[in-house]
Every structure is written in structure tokens, then in C-alpha cells.
Chain A
């Protein structure tokens, strides 16, 4: 035992280990969890997203990504880029300001926090008075204007964040310009909006929440114009030439105001409630964009009739007679418009609208008729239906890759062809070394194919298995059947749809053969579909077969869900992967393991009751084996998982309600609210925690016995061509491992290709190994004569792998949750073992063979086991000697779903979910490292050619 604790320090090996292994978390794929703020720099053409956990992420051209994390983990409330600079300022909900900058370092840009600052009032003043509500980075880049809850506007110097007290604009100073009858000397309330005049940087527009709006002259410290709004103000927007601005209001109205030198207290030009006359929800943000043809684009968020559409998350675009209310699947956090920011341009000419909703990013092409959506190259909503499983396939052959892309492009015809409008920065990362696919199975019965080769996880193709089945919800039943003259003109956009029609459709296991294009997909209700890639649409009948896994068992009754009803007759399938056979397990329990052998044309599947082998060439069931222990009533009667998942889903829905309740509250009426709610929330969580801690924390120490529940649960299936019976002849074999520590080996007789259709495939049980420690078997592997894992099916046929060594004797590696064991073959006797749990108290959750190449020499590579434990550690264990090489902490051990979601690639990378919508990508290899590496060059600012700012302001201040 002690020899495990003190591994021999072979200096050569130690050096080699350094050349082979290295742990990095490289990039987060997917959509940020709980986004809370959005910012955009037209100058850098970068978008920034802040989250409730204090993360800030910058995105530009595909591959250009930066990430930062605020130490405090507080919600990011606002993000503002400093005009013409590689800098941005974030406001957190603890009222702190943080200045971040993009600086080049070692050839690539990095995002770094440089300064932090909290606005403090004079001693004795209430803290809420200093709560920042509006931030205006002035185009001079020297100061920030900070509107506060008290109505005062503070000026802080950049980059030092020094408060310039003499330049503070107090609400009292402003109020003296207001006619007595208007305000009755009431305070102005909080500063809702601060905007710089687009043409004259010495003037700023100040909007107070009560509706009062001033144009303030910074030079002379006086009000130049006064606009007496009567409605509670939500936001303001300058028109490009500075002659007018728009205000939007809490009652769902917007108002245009003229700004001219002849009238210092003008009346509104126009006041409109777009979705009146009935009471409407607030319009919280508005854009007024001019175009060449004279018709403006008026784009506003909200304003829906309160009673009938108050629950919609909408943004309306009005352009002449065209009007569409884009209806988002989740709450709109913020949005911005990409328009011509050239100062010389006369018109805004908006090209795209970028909307950050709570669960997805939607970009609308405003140039193309019909305003189609643009397919984002990143920030994909992985969780548009909850992810139930994932499968990674490395090094996809070009042919298959192109066919998948072509199938996918047929699905994406309704997207705009517009090039991605957010294109700042340059990616200097090397091209991905190979084409990798990540397949995710979802609760709604779909499988999504992601391009996981590079930094941008990009959806290539989406496969739905729903068509094979009859479900309650008819797929043709379109929710979006609004008539022509429907009012408001709502249009659903976005793909986020977390509600599954039927949980039985959920995908549990996926297996893709990259050489043949065969795909096997298995689901929650015991359905196993085998599919083939077809480049054309086709209509055909899906063959059915039943696999009764309880054959020999009598008198048992399945109390779980029923199997899915299938559609009779031919079914039309779109180009892509088309199912040709359906194997239905009986009882229809969750499929827990799946293996496909494309060369032998066999698919093996297992549930909690047993496993079976299906010949998908002849469409014939070869055999089934019941693995159930007679006393295991639980597995017999129904899925425990169902009870669990019901509980889980209930819990989650409560959580969702709670969260949405919190997040839907706008920071209204003061500092207090949001943070109070959050505090309450935190307190609630804490209470929960305490409650949990109060429960007696003690663990029973008991040996596992044969009678434990779910011992028959099939955890792993493996095909191998090896020496199962004698050392002179090898034959195809199928291996299955169960939860109770049993390994079954079946000898298969597959007829040669020319007689493949004439003779049946035969199988015969050859071996049964019972691990005495009875821990679940999570991996089975056969090593060839050179101790190399056997190649995948068809790998040798495609010349992508050396043929296995069939001369020397093979070895069998069985990985249980607790131990790694190497046995000899064909006579099974124990050769080597590593007792992981006994030594370290951790258990194996995931295990894969990974190939590691040296970063120093091109010609050295080796196979090792990459292991994820229940503690969230990743260990690399050598083959075939089972020596622990290295260990890295990777996932928090409390993050059960993260650990459960982890997948390893064949070349030492991996993915796990850090939130329902984000995969963290990590690398264990020194050689294969996919991480963003990019440069954001600051455009030259010496000349005046780049004089434009966030709000399209011409920057006259620079001259002065």
C-alpha cells in the first residue's frame, strides 16, 4: 500500500510527465448563466455581458473572447465602454465601480481589472443617496458623470476615480430653474438617464425619474433647456443631429422633444402610446434611428398592453408602416442597435439589433426585408432544452463533417445571411488541429451537433427524434399562428424552450460512428434508434423491434412510464440523420448504456433490467440478458429516477420562480429593493443550508451485498475483438458491466460480409466475472498485445490506426467506481489493480482512454486513463501499469451536475457544465489546447477620423 503513496521518483518519467500533462481551464462555451447587463463599444466593435455572479465577458469577431470576474461576485448592473478607449467601467449592485482595460501582453490582449471605486457621500448622509443609477462616460474620456438616487450628479476623474467635488451638479442647483408651479419644491427623485449632446460635448441631458428633463451646460453650470415631462421617466435617446430627443415612460408612452435655441422650455412635439389606448407597460428603452429615406426606425422595449400582453418580453421595431413586436422567450436584459458610427455619416442607418435576453442572445438583421434573425457564431443557448447527456467525437473525417454541415444548412435557411455584425478584435489562435463534434442530447428528444473544434461552440445541425413517435403535442401545431392584422404584431424569436412535451422523449445515450455515419440514440422510455446519414429528405417506415429484457422473470410488474407510441406508416425525415430502426426495451426503463459497432452492424443497449444486442443489418434481435437480481424490487417496479427527477424538477421550478421573481424586479424606487430581495434570497439559501446541516450527518458503514438495489443496472457496454475463449483464436465479443460489479462477456459470431444477410449473428455467454467489492463497473477496455487499447470499429479499415497486435496476449481492464483491475485473457486472472477508493476515499465517475502527445517531441505519444472522481478531481492513470500520474482539482465536489456532465475527448480535453447553459472546456494535454487568443487593437486616435462615441456623438471636445 505504501508503494502507492510514494511513487518512485524517476526523473526521466517526471520530465516526460511535464511534457505530456498540464491542466488548464481554457474557455467557457455557451450562454452566460444569469446575464444582468449588456454593453457595446461601436469603437472597438466589442460586446460585453455582465452576469449576476460578477463575471464579465467580452465578445467580438468569432474567436475573440475575454473574460473577467469581479472579486465580489456581485451582480453587474451596468457596463459602459469609455469612448475611444480599450477600457470599460462596470457598476455592481454593491454600488462599486470597476475599471477594466484590454492590454496587450505577450502578444495577445488580456482583460484586467485596474481600479475599483465606491462613491461615498459626506459623513452622515444616507448610503442610498449615493447609490449610482446612471453612468455617463464623457467623450472627453477624462470624467465620468454619475447620476445618483438622491438626484445629485457627481463627477469623477478618469482614470483615478477622484471625485471632482466642485463640479457636482446637485439637484437643488437644478431645481431652482424649475417653475414653482411644476415641482412645488418637491425633489426630482433619482437620476434616470444621463446623455451627452451628440454635437456639443459641453451639454448633457439629465432625466429624473419624475419626468423632469434638463439640458445642462457644463461650462457655465446652468440649465439651458427645461423639459417638463409629466410621466414617470424610463429612458432618453438623442436623435443623431441633436435637434430632438425622445423620452420613454412608465405608462407605455414615448415623447419627442425639440431642442432649439429659441425655445428654452419647449412643449413636446409628439406624445404617443404605441400600444394604447388601454393601460400599457413601461417602455424601458428607446432608440430613434434616422435613415436615408427619411423614415426613422423607432425601436423600443416593452410598452405592451398591460392586461393582455403584459407578460410578454418584447421589443418593437417600427419603420414606416412596418411594425413588428419581437417576442422573446425570456426576459429582455438589455439591447443595443448597431448603426453607422462614422461621424461623417448623415444618418444612423441601423443594421442590426442585438438583444440580450435572460436565456439567449438574439440578433435581428434590420437591413433585410422581413427582419430575419442572424445565427450567432457563439453564445449558443446550450440549454434551449435541458441537456440530458453529451458525447464527444474527435477528429471527424472531412466527408462526414461536410455532410453534417450541409444537413444543418438546410435547417438554417430562415436565418439572415448577414455577416456577424459584432466583429471587433482579431483572433490569433492557431486553427483548430482537428474537427471535433460535441453532441448534446436534450430533454425534448433532440440531439444537437456542435462544432467543438475551436473557441466558438457553434451549432451545426439539430436532430429531432420526436418525429418517430406520437406525442401529445403535434409538431405542426404552431404557437405562432397570428393572423395578418393581429395587434400587437408579435413575432416569436429565439430558440429557448425549456418545456418538454413529454419527458420520455429525453435523450440519454448517444453513440456516433464517425467513419460510417451510423448514429445510435437512446432515450428515457427505453427507445433505441439507429440512424443513418442521408443527404436528402426521405419518407420511409421505421422498423420496430421489441427487446423483452425480463424474459425469464415471472410475475413482475413495471410501474413506471409506458413506452412511447410510435407513428404508423412512413414518416417524412429531413436531410440528415434518419432513423431506420427502433428497438424498444421492455420494460421501457431508461437506457443506461449504449454501444454501436458499425463494422459488425450491431448495437448493444442496457437498462436497469438487462441488456440486449441487436443486429441492425438484418434488423433482428440477437439476444437479451436479464441482469436483475431477483430481490431487486425497486428496479422492477419502476424508475427510481422518475421519482428523483420529479422532485428535482419541482425544486428547480420553485427555484426558477424565485429567481424570476427576484430578477424581474427592476431597481425601482431605490437602492433598497433589489438588494433587499437579494439579501432575503441569500438568507433563504443560508437557512436552507443550516437546515441541511442540522440533519444528522452520519454515514452508515456497510458492505455492499448482492441484494442491494439496482445491482442489475447496466452501466457500460463494450465491443471488442479479442481472445475470449482461447489464446489461439480471437472473436468478436460484447462486454457488459453492471452496477453490482458483474461483468458479462459474450462471444459473438458475426458472419463474413458476403453472407452477412443470410446467416444470423450468434452470441454465447463465455464469461461472467463478479468483482468481490461489488462496486459499479463504469468502464471495460481490452488492451492488445502491445498494451494499447483496441482501436474503434472501422478505424483500422480507414487506415487511421495501426491494427491491433493479435499476437501477444490481450488484457482486460475493468474499471469500477472503486478499483482499476487488469486481468489476463483469455483465462481471466487478476494481474494488477489500483484500489482508488480504499486509498483515497474517492470514486470514479467518468473514465476514458486519452492519447497524450509530448509537446517537446513530435513522435512520442501514449495512452492513459483520464478519470474524473466524485470529488471533482481529475486523475491521469497510466496504462497498462495503473500508476497514478497526476491529479488536478477541476470541479467543486458539491457541483454534482457538473461532475455528472463531464465528457472527455480522445486527446485529453474535456467539457463539463458550469451552469445549465455553459460548458467549461478544459485541457489535460500540453499539446491540444483550445483557448481564445486574440488581439484588440485600439484604432488610431491621433487623427479626428475616429471621432465617435457610444451614442454617436461627434467629439468636439477633443479639439479643445
Chain B
């Protein structure tokens, strides 16, 4: 079926409105669909958030060709051109014999399901000479991969220039997360770790702080190379062309909000393995909220068990495991932050 309608290019509105419009136009109000468009290179790219929606609208030349697929029988592999995703696709297939849907084919993660690897954040509030980088560490597949050292830097003070001790990135491990993002470089001065200034702290203290925050590390650096500084006006990604997988534009205010929220929410959830054998021990007359929670718990819990949560063979596949757990989160209609595997497991 084809439909044709018009949008105001200068005011495209939000993705959700657009999605609603599409559902309305196609008269499929309660069907989950995937939305895609062809870009100038002819690649089929997804539209699933404000950013790529805006991108799509702005690149439309003059027509924006949009494809809509029913989510259940969507051919995910049609999207994108990146072979990496395909490869991962295979892995996730191996990993996850899907027992919820009887779909034979492979599910590629949607871009919204991709986990970000790194981002530049708070561009609007930081001085131009600084860069705040967020590294997302999942599992053990890729080391954070950098070293820090002591050094001295020059500060402008009311009394003129002053030499002060500082912490610097001394080495990037080839193939590590830090190197692969391209956002950190040797001799960048570390100014803050997760919002805490490092001045006055020893190398060991900063090391401990970074390791303690390693699952969601936000480093504010003063790049040694100041030439590639982000120009304020361009709101687009400061990491364009550098980060491979983090093609999500990341400097938008909603990421900032996400960052702040992340402070509260993104903390690692500990895993609890309850070893209660007899079902009668589950409290029946417990307060409602609690029993509800335990209900959701049991529902949620088959999957990771199957996944084999801990065996080390699968540790290196955690890349995809991350996305899996997010899917549960969505199913459990638990709409808080989507970054963590906040699962509770009952064996």
C-alpha cells in the first residue's frame, strides 16, 4: 500500500507525532510498525526517534520515501549497510532462541536497541576547551583500555599563571574502548570524573574513582589537541566520523537529561540469586506491592537463566546480552533507563 502526504520541512515535529500520523494515515492505530526511509545513498535506514526523524526530513530530496513494516514480520536485516551489525545479528541469533515470538528469522537490534559506546555530553554547559566524554562499559568484551599518570598543567589564576599538578591520560590500549571512541587521547588532562573534580586528588584516588565508576564513566578532559574542538553552533555530533557505533547524535539536551538521570538510575544493579526451593515459602500475605514485584520477578526470570548468566564462555558476547536485557525491560513495561541489566534472577 502506498500513501502520500506532506509535512512541513521546517517544522517536522516529534517522532511520536509522526508515528501517530503514520498510523493514522494507514489506519493501523494499534499495530506496532517499523519505520524506515531511504537516504541519498539508497540505504534503508530506520526512523525511530526524533533525531533520525529530523535527519530523514532534512535530507529528503525532495521526497522522503518511507517504508513501514509490521514489527512482527519486519525484515530487520534490510536495514543498514554495516556488516558489523550483520555479524552481531548472527551472534544474537545463536544466543537467543527466541521463545516469545515464533519468528523464524533473525532480529537485528534496532538502532534504539544499540547500546551506545561513548558520547560527548554537556557540550552546551562546558567551556569549549573541555570535553565531557561518557564511556559505556558493558560486560568484559572490550577493556576500557587507558592509563592515567601524574603531570603538571598550567592554570590561569588571579595571580597569573600557575603550575599545578594534574592527571593526564598516558596511554590508550589498542583496541580498547577508550581508543575506539576516538574521544580521548594521550596527554588529555583529566579534570573531572563523574562530576567530581580531580584537582587535589592523588593518582591512586583518581584511579579508584574511575574504576569505581567504570560501568558508566564520565570523564571531563581538556584535550591535548585543541584544534578539533566542537564548534558551538553545530548541534550535531561532536563525534561524527570518529565513533563507529555511536552514530546517535549525542549532544542533544535530552542526553544531558539522561546523564543527570543516569546519576541516579544508571547505577549497577546487583544480582540476587534466591535459592528458595519450596514455593510455599513465597509470602502470600505479603504487602501488595511486594507480591507484585515478586510476580514480575518470576516472569522475568527464565530468560537470563537460559542465557546462562554467568558462564564465562558467553561473557565475551555480552555485547548482545546488553540489548537482550533491555528488551526485557521493555516487556516488563518498566520504562526507566534502558542501559542496565537490572534483572533479578530466581533460580
Contact = CB atoms under 8 A, between A and B. Distances in A.
Given A770-B270, A772-B269, A773-B215, A700 B147 contact: yes
B139 to A, nearest CB: 9
A701 B283 contact: no
Contacts of B204: 699, 841, 870
B117 interface: no
Interface stretch (A419-427, A526-534, A649-657, A826-834): A826-834
A770 B149 CA distance: 31
B143 A702 contact: yes
B215 A703 contact: yes
Interface in A831-862: 833, 835, 837-843
Contacts of A767: 272-275
A871 B201 CA distance: 11
A333 interface: no
A769 B148 contact: no
Contacts of A818: 208, 212
Contacts of B268: 771-773
Interface of B: 137, 140, 143-150, 170-171, 178, 193-196, 198, 201-215, 217, 263, 267-276, 281-283, 286, 290, 293-294, 310, 312, 315, 344
Contacts of A827: 290, 293-294
B208 A837 contact: yes
Contact of A725 (B144, B214, B281, B286): B281
B147 A705 contact: no
A69 to B, nearest CB: 27
Of the listed residues B140, B263, B282, the one surrounded by the most CB atoms of chain A closer than 10 A to its CB is: B140
A728 interface: yes
Contacts of A768: 272-273, 275
Scoring B204, B212, B263 by chain A CB atoms within 10 A of each residue's CB, the highest score goes to B212
A839 B195 CA distance: 9
Given A767-B274, A828-B274, 8 more contacts: A1-B194, A697-B203, A701-B148, A703-B144, A764-B275, A767-B273, A835-B212, A837-B209
B269 A766 contact: no
Q: Which are the 8 A-B pairs with shortest beta-carbon distances?
A: A841-B205, A772-B268, A703-B214, A837-B212, A768-B273, A699-B207, A698-B149, A841-B209
B215 A701 contact: no
A696 interface: yes
Contacts of A697: 149-150, 203
Nearest to A768: B273
A782 to B, nearest CB: 16
Contact of B208 (A702, A829, A833, A841): A841
Contact of A704 (B170, B194, B211): B211
Interface string A673-709: 0000000000000000000000011111111111100
Interface string A1-28: 1100000000000000000000000000
A878 interface: no
7 contacts: A699-B149, A702-B144, A768-B272, A773-B212, A829-B272, A838-B209, A841-B193
A696 B208 contact: no
A699 B147 contact: yes
Contacts of A660: none
Contacts of B148: 698-699, 701
A828 B272 contact: yes
A2 B263 CA distance: 10
Contacts of A368: none
A1 B195 contact: yes
A838 B213 contact: yes
Given A700-B147, A701-B207, A842-B208, A727 B271 contact: no
A829 B296 CA distance: 14
Nearest to A774: B268
A700 B344 CA distance: 32
Interface in A755-789: 764-773, 775
Contacts of B272: 767-770, 828-829
Nearest to A629: B312
B124 to A, nearest CB: 19
A837 B145 CA distance: 20
B149 A696 contact: yes
Contact of B270 (A1, A772, A893): A772
Contacts of A829: 272, 293, 344
A2 B286 CA distance: 36
Contacts of B271: 769-770, 772
A114 interface: no
A706 B315 contact: yes
A480 to B, nearest CB: 49
